[in-house]
Structure 1
Amino acid sequence: MTDQQELALCQAGIQAWQDAFNRQNAAGCAAQYASTCTMQARPVGMFTGTDDIRAFWQDIIDQGFSDVVYFDVVWEKHPKAGYLLSANWTMNKAFGKIHAEHWVVEQDGRARLQSDDFEILGER
């Protein structure tokens, strides 16, 4: 697989996550995470594994958050595997920063998050 093909799969992964979130589908969001993923949601806390991560996103959705948009997106090749994404984001009720999403193409050919570190910076 070329670097460009790998990057395209990682970009498809984040698009699938955004589409799931904007459809209010927490299970679809969680499906974009590797089973052993660790998610740091500052200042809320740390979540490990797809069950905890799905519950986090379900709670966010239940509170009425929607319409996520990423901007100022930067992709960098990870030194070991996959790509790191950093960006800013907005939703209908909040905004923040993605410090590092580590996307890796798994054996089934789909890219999933191996780790996720983002921060909620304020309300809108």
Structure 2
Amino acid sequence: MKHINFINIVFFLCTASVSISSLAQTDAGKQPRQSYTNHKPLAHHQVALEVLAASEAWIQAFNKGQSQVCVSGYRSDAVLRAKPFGLKKGIKAIKEFWTSFLNSGAANLVYTQVSIGVINEKTALLSANWQMNVGEGHIYQEKWVKENNRWLLAYDDFEVLKKYKRPISYTLNPVTSHKALAQAIKASANWIQGFNQQNAQVCGKGYAKNATMHGVPLAYIYDQKSIETFWAGLIKQGARNLTYHQPKFTAQTDHTVILSAQWSMNIGEGEIYQEKWIKQANGWVLNYDEFELLKKYL
């Protein structure tokens, strides 16, 4: 089953074809400028992967009791807001906090439902639920910044929502949520790369068999084969240079990741409201994809 707005899609593809073929004949100063080309198509995906790796390393250091390594993960002028412990300004106060906390017996830190939003190539925001042997809570914001090729925490805001009466032990993987996010981000990057290499088959295989794609105002499609046909048509007309800008990746579960972002390509730009990535036996695929074309160039 599928529903495609044929008037819109045919008009879009035809005008896109005319626009693309006319670029060579158009004065360079009059050509429409594609948005978000100040960075490479996958630059913000790479940022997310790097920050996830830095976050994983911080968690692993915490769980090994390596307070100095944890402290070195902050900028010298970082701010730590830890409710109900108060505000810690600067590396000295942050060092005292984590050293004391780890010496008290805190361990087994686990992050779940991790979400990471990329601001630019040097800034990303992370939030998550957390738990450890002494309690659990929520991380409202970890602001990660890149300095001298290292990702460091500039701001850290979390809260203890529940303190256990006595320490508990568990065997959860502390970074399962991180791993799920990283896998889905790589699957998304592979899809974008496939599109930019004009490979409709890669795009089609990136969807589940029963996937739904809602491309406003172009099409509403309910199966993988028809979705691949849609992308093949767009690629055939010359669409290329798909770029994701300021993506946000959220691990709803260990098998479900939600992505939203701004996007652009050589023929237009818009918004991705939701890409729902699910983990299947053969890897991560799109189960639902809703985006909108907000501006068509030329």
How would you bin the TM-score normalised by the shorter chain? over 0.9
* Paired position in structure 1 for 2:95: 54
Q: How many residues align?
A: 123
Larger Rg: 2
Q: Equivalent residue of 2:57, what SS?
A: helix
The answer to whether the aligner puts 1:6 opposite 2:47 as a matched pair is yes
- Which of structures 1 and 2 has the larger relative contact order (alpha carbons within 8 angstroms, sep 6+)? 1
* Structure 1: runs of 5 or more not aligned: none
Instruction: For 1:121, give the aligned amino acid.
Output: L
Q: 1:65-85 deviations in whole A, cap 9, x for unaligned?
A: 101000010111236951111
Map 1:77-92; keep pairs closer than 5 Å.
77-78=118-119, 81-92=122-133
Instruction: For 1:48, give the aligned amino acid.
Output: K
Deviates further, 54-63 or 71-80? 71-80
Q: Equivalent residue of 1:78, what SS?
A: strand
* Structure 2: runs of 5 or more not aligned: 1-39, 165-298
The Cα shift of 1:38 comes to 0.3
* Paired position in structure 1 for 2:153: 113
Deviates further, 49-58 or 109-118? 49-58
TM-score of the superposition, structure 2-length normalised? Answer: 0.40
CA contact (8 A) 1:72 1:87 kept: yes
Find the aligned partners of 2:62 and 2:152 in 1 and give their Cα distance.
15
CA contact (8 A) 1:16 1:32 kept: no
Q: 1:14-66 deviations in whole A, cap 9, x for unaligned?
A: 11110110010111111111111000001111111222111101111111110
The answer to whether the aligner puts 1:36 opposite 2:114 as a matched pair is no
Deviates further, 12-21 or 65-74? 12-21
Instruction: For 2:157, give the aligned amino acid.
Output: D
Aligned-residue Cα RMSD (Å) equals 1.6
* Paired position in structure 2 for 1:21: 62
Instruction: For 1:106, give the aligned amino acid.
Output: E
Q: Equivalent residue of 1:17, what SS?
A: helix
Q: 1:71-124 deviations in whole A, cap 9, x for unaligned?
A: 0101112369511111000000110100000011112x1111110000011112
CA contact (8 A) 1:73 1:86 kept: yes
